[in-house]
Structure 1
């Protein structure tokens, strides 16, 4: 388990990490999210003793990182796939790590096989592609067979097969009862991998919750409807006290999860529906909504600022207007 208590890091007047307190539990994949500049990398570096906190503490299985004997046997981490001697082969890079942590050299062959690099084990790392470098970094994290694993952007440079592999690997490690902590900007991958989320913005904790609860609390669920009998459907919905939002020339939206109610209502009134589909926000949409006020770097696409065009709402009294 990883435990953070009041973790804080200041660089002069700038507060990079602001009193973070949360735990990363074993047996699940915990995703670590935040906009650029939120303090994720600084937090992970402090977890591994690479940066000294201004205040607060991190415990790895109850100990500080610098108290761990043979730390690769406690916690394996991939923070920077390029952090290796380019003149060494993949095998000798891992062998140096193994020897410095009292790990049997047979383990080097095992992890090379696990990450799919056995065929290039004798090649120098400086000739590796980004994806191969990622695999070698993951091999280093696995080398000590640790109970805790941390990955920062583990799918960078990987092809679709590699992405599928690392996703299943992280799930399998968690299923063995290990602690798995992963940071990524790829929301689609995080949605498929993580069970629990820790979200920070401007160095502060914004959420510490399950994936399902995070999406439910930070998103809008609605029903999308298309019909050639728009006026009849509006009358029927009005009679049932249901408020409708016009989202386009032929599209109506109703907030909440009312698809069955709307379908039965349309059937009773013999109204043809071309579409009746429940819509739920993705992890990306929920994340964007929660962190909107915490984004430090904004880019614009040339369109006027201020959000989307307003939509027309049709309440129960829409015909009285």
Structure 2
């Protein structure tokens, strides 16, 4: 279990993390979300003792990270897969970590096989692709067979097979009763992997809830209805006291009603329906809605691709990025 209480980090006059309090519990994959600059990486670094907090505490199974005797046996982490000596082989990189943490040499071969790098174990890591480097970083996190695992952008550089593999690995680790904490910008992957979400913006906690609860609380759900007898359908809904909104092409959107109830209502009035479907937001849509006011940098929308010889429009290229509020 990871317990974060009042965690704060200041860099001069800038507050990167602002009194965060949350708990990451075992048995589920907990997603850690936030816009760029929200403070996710800083928070994870403080969890691992790499940055010293200005205030607050982080406890790993009841202890501060610096109090762990063999840290890799308690918590495994992937923060920066590139943090590897390029002249060492994958095997020797892991062997150094194992020896410094009292981990048997046999475990090195086991994790290399787990992540699919057994065939390149003796190759120097400077020749590894981005995806291979990610797999080696994941192997290092698994090396001590820890009960707590932290991953920052674990699918970065992985091919579709690799993404499917790491997704199932994280679910399996959580199913074993381990604590799994993962940060990612890929909403589609997070929606398939995480069961619980911690969302921050501008260093502050925005949400600490289940995946289903987060989407429900931060999205609009409605039922789409489409009929060739569009006007009569509107009259029936109006007569039943059901609010509806036209959405073009004969589609009506109805909030607060069950699709089955609406279908039965149409059937009683012998109205043909070409569409009757429940609509709910994706994780990405819910995330965008919640964090809209916490996004630090916004890209211009009214721009055109940079084409050689084409002059940029003054209104489009005044600045590529604008700090929120400037």
TM-score normalised by structure 2 residue count = 0.92
Deviation at 1:300, TM superposition (A): 3.0
**Matched pairs, number:** 304
Indicate the residue corresponding to 1:192 in structure 2.
192
Deviation at 1:250, TM superposition (A): 2.1
Asked if the contact 1:74/1:146 (under 8 Å) is kept, the reply is yes
SS in structure 1 of the partner of residue 288 of structure 2? helix
Indicate the residue corresponding to 1:83 in structure 2.
83
Deviations 1:32-82 (A, max 9, x none): 000000000000000000000000011011111111111000100000110
Indicate the residue corresponding to 1:260 in structure 2.
260
Indicate the residue corresponding to 1:309 in structure 2.
none
Structure 1's unaligned 5+ residue stretches are: 305-321
Deviations 1:254-279 (A, max 9, x none): 01242112111111111111111000
SS in structure 2 of the partner of residue 103 of structure 1? coil
Q: How far apart, in 2, do the equivalents of 1:234 and 1:128 lie?
A: 62
Q: How far apart, in 2, do the equivalents of 1:186 and 1:137 lie?
A: 19
Deviation at 1:251, TM superposition (A): 1.6
Q: How far apart, in 2, do the equivalents of 1:249 and 1:210 lie?
A: 36
Misfit runs of 4+, over 2 Å? none
Q: How far apart, in 2, do the equivalents of 1:239 and 1:36 lie?
A: 48
Indicate the residue corresponding to 1:146 in structure 2.
146
Aligned pairs for 1:86-101 within 5 A? 86-101=86-101
Indicate the residue corresponding to 1:57 in structure 2.
57
Change in Cα spacing, 1:257 to 1:90, as seen in structure 2 (3 Å) is farther
Q: How far apart, in 1, do the equivalents of 2:101 and 2:91 lie?
A: 16
Indicate the residue corresponding to 1:201 in structure 2.
201
Deviation at 1:301, TM superposition (A): 2.0
Q: How far apart, in 2, do the equivalents of 1:214 and 1:223 lie?
A: 20
Indicate the residue corresponding to 1:157 in structure 2.
157
Deviation at 1:249, TM superposition (A): 2.9
Deviations 1:121-174 (A, max 9, x none): 011111111110000000000000001000000000111111111011001101
Indicate the residue corresponding to 1:234 in structure 2.
234
Q: How far apart, in 2, do the equivalents of 1:201 and 1:24 lie?
A: 18
SS in structure 1 of the partner of residue 190 of structure 2? helix
Q: How far apart, in 2, do the equivalents of 1:158 and 1:226 lie?
A: 42
Indicate the residue corresponding to 1:8 in structure 2.
8
Aligned pairs for 1:116-195 within 5 A? 116-195=116-195
Aligned pairs for 1:208-227 within 5 A? 208-227=208-227
Q: How far apart, in 1, do the equivalents of 2:123 and 2:188 lie?
A: 33
Indicate the residue corresponding to 1:314 in structure 2.
none
Structure 2's unaligned 5+ residue stretches are: 304-314, 316-326
Q: Does 1:72 align with 2:72?
A: yes
Aligned Cα root-mean-square deviation (Å): 1.1
Q: How far apart, in 2, do the equivalents of 1:27 and 1:99 lie?
A: 29
Deviations 1:216-249 (A, max 9, x none): 1111110011111110000000000011111123
Q: How far apart, in 1, do the equivalents of 2:262 and 2:71 lie?
A: 58
Q: Does 1:21 align with 2:21?
A: yes
Change in Cα spacing, 1:257 to 1:108, as seen in structure 2 (3 Å) is farther
SS in structure 2 of the partner of residue 91 of structure 1? helix
Change in Cα spacing, 1:76 to 1:41, as seen in structure 2 (3 Å) is same
